[in-house]
Structure 1
Amino acid sequence: MARGFIDCHCHMSANEFTQVRKLPKSSTLLCTSYLKDLNDVILRAKKAGVKALVAVTEGAGEFERVIKLSKVYPGFVFPCFGIHPLQGSGQDLHSVKIQIGLDFTPWFAQTTQERDEQIKVFIKQLEISKELDLPVNVHSRSAAKVTITTMKEQGIRQALLHNFAGKPSVAMEGVQAGFCFSFPPAVVRNEQRAKLIKQIPLEHICLETDSPALGLNKDVRNEPQNIMICCEYIAKLKGVSLDRVMEVTTQNAFRLFSKLKV
């Protein structure tokens, strides 16, 4: 088994990771900042010890780009197809594979009808994952209880609940069902999440960055190289070594995503 980190949830097909050339010094543009080339992002991740990225989509429009990335970086970028809960209506689900979930935050789901629509799309994607015998990589916000209950009712066995923010008691229901949980760098600022991480057994925790979002500084683009921040924080909360967290979370990732070959 490869020694290193697995970023189990990042968005490498996001617009923030497009190739943009550096502006010349002679440029008259006021803004001199620019996005680094995606290849530089990948190189920094590898230098930081990342062995694989699970590249998650949010909509069908990103599928082709993720497939291309997996071909450009074989054995490092692994596609994770799916539709974000806020983009589920009206999209073709026949080729959807993994990344799914529910988002019941008030500004997105104000009515029972809106929540029910999300649940329908969620269940449809869960059914597809079972047909293809693939794990699910789940977005859950303000819907932890419903998300875990629905997955259990649908007979899901292999699941990662990314950036999980539910109650510890709800998380333990997921642990009992065999699910895993992951947390991005931004959680180091959240005391509630610290209590949650302390209670979830390390054998049910994976690492993620959720790049380009949820880094330490919300105004700075997050990258997979920041996976060490997650590892250090979990090690501190658990009172174990960095090597122990790296070893166990990587084992968890390989067990969950059986198609990872690095």
Structure 2
Amino acid sequence: MAADRVWKVQEPAVITHHLPCRDKDYMMLDCHAHIYSPEFSDVQQTLEAAYAAGVRAILNVSETVEDALKILELAQEYPILQPCLGLHPVQPGAQGSRSVRLDEVDKIMELIRENSERIVAIGECGLDFSPHVLAGSDVPPAAQKEIQKKVFGAQLCVANEIGVPVNVHSRQAGHYAVDLMIEAGSKGLLHAFDGKVGHALKAVHNGCLISIAPSVVRSPHLQKLAKAIPLDHLVLETDSPALGPANGVQNVPANVRIACEHVAKIKGMSFEDVEAMTTENAMKMFRRVRPVE
């Protein structure tokens, strides 16, 4: 496919991050990333490297309303970036991270409904019961948890309303998030799932997917998940710029290949089989995604 159909190019593109040539034209999906983040000073170069690595669609997920606006702009310019709009359970505060508030829901709901035909999923939404997050507010922790559940529930409802899946964050709240999804009849992806394998399997049995990031190379928990979850319920993500193969080093969508390679190693399968199945899984879940050629 011509470069100008993948990203906006005024002159012939020069790929400065060269990747090995391959005999096969792979098609992988990065099911969770944050390409609007300040770390990506050269979006075009990042996407060129991803395309060279075989990535054909990147689900660009928001955390705040401001992120969502950036995502919509980027999707117009770079078709490889597939927009997902949602409100993260952790929001920036005056003195660090804090739990989301109920009065922050209306703006994202309005934006979602205004762009309901454009988005491929609702997210990043979910729950985060980490102690440091709950400590960032004067509201009692139990009340914060209930507010998070209401905010998440509202996003599950709008996802069902417009007919798209959810892209879910569930740090230290895995089984609560899974139960709310089941109760709402929502399907989607559990990103960076840190809960028990049993809770992940419960989600899988109810039609959800579990994503594996490049950090699987250094995460015993992700390795355990990759081994336990059937391949037909796994997909790949990077969570760029986070969750890279090396701790503290910026992650990029091209590294989705590393996640694929490690899942193949864990399951004793070929790279090609894992690539094909995870892509098929993602396309079945995120039916609005249109990979670039």
TM-score by length of 2: 0.79
Between the aligned partners of 1:248 and 1:120, the Cα distance in structure 2 is: 34
Between the aligned partners of 2:193 and 2:248, the Cα distance in structure 1 is: 22
Q: Does 1:71 align with 2:95?
A: no
CA shift in 2, pair 1:249/1:189, >3 Å: same
Name which of 13, 18, 31 aligns with 1:8. Answer: 31
For 1:45, the equivalent position in structure 2 comes to 50
Paired letter, 2:46? V
Name which of 173, 186, 189 aligns with 1:160. Answer: 189
Q: Does 1:82 align with 2:98?
A: no
Between the aligned partners of 2:27 and 2:188, the Cα distance in structure 1 is: 21
Task: Quote how far apart the aligned CAs of 1:3 are.
Answer: 4.3
For 2:9, the equivalent position in structure 1 comes to none
Q: Does 1:236 align with 2:265?
A: yes
For 2:108, the equivalent position in structure 1 comes to 93
Task: Quote how far apart the aligned CAs of 1:134 are.
Answer: 0.8
Task: Quote how far apart the aligned CAs of 1:17 are.
Answer: 1.4
Between the aligned partners of 1:181 and 1:203, the Cα distance in structure 2 is: 10
Paired letter, 1:250? T
Between the aligned partners of 2:251 and 2:245, the Cα distance in structure 1 is: 8
For 1:103, the equivalent position in structure 2 comes to 128
Between the aligned partners of 2:145 and 2:26, the Cα distance in structure 1 is: 41
For 2:151, the equivalent position in structure 1 comes to 121
Name which of 233, 251, 263 aligns with 1:222. Answer: 251
For 1:29, the equivalent position in structure 2 comes to none
For 1:24, the equivalent position in structure 2 comes to none
Task: Quote how far apart the aligned CAs of 1:182 are.
Answer: 0.3
For 1:31, the equivalent position in structure 2 comes to none
Aligned length: 241
- Counterpart of 2:39 in 1: which secondary structure? helix
**Alpha-carbon contact 1:93-1:125 (below 8 Å) kept:** no
Between the aligned partners of 1:188 and 1:203, the Cα distance in structure 2 is: 21
Task: Quote how far apart the aligned CAs of 1:71 are.
Answer: 1.2
C-alpha RMSD over aligned residues? 1.3
Paired letter, 2:161? E
For 2:287, the equivalent position in structure 1 comes to 258
TM-score by length of 1: 0.89
CA shift in 2, pair 1:192/1:63, >3 Å: closer
For 1:169, the equivalent position in structure 2 comes to 198
- Counterpart of 1:12 in 2: which secondary structure? coil
Which deviates more, 197-206 or 83-92?
A: 83-92
Deviations 1:214-261 (A, max 9, x none): 112233211001111100110011110000000000001111110111
Paired letter, 2:34? H
Gaps of 5+ in 2: 1-24, 92-99, 113-120, 136-140
Paired letter, 1:14? S
**Alpha-carbon contact 1:235-1:241 (below 8 Å) kept:** yes
Deviations 1:178-200 (A, max 9, x none): 10010211122122321221110
Runs of 4+ in 1 over 6 A off after TM superposition: none
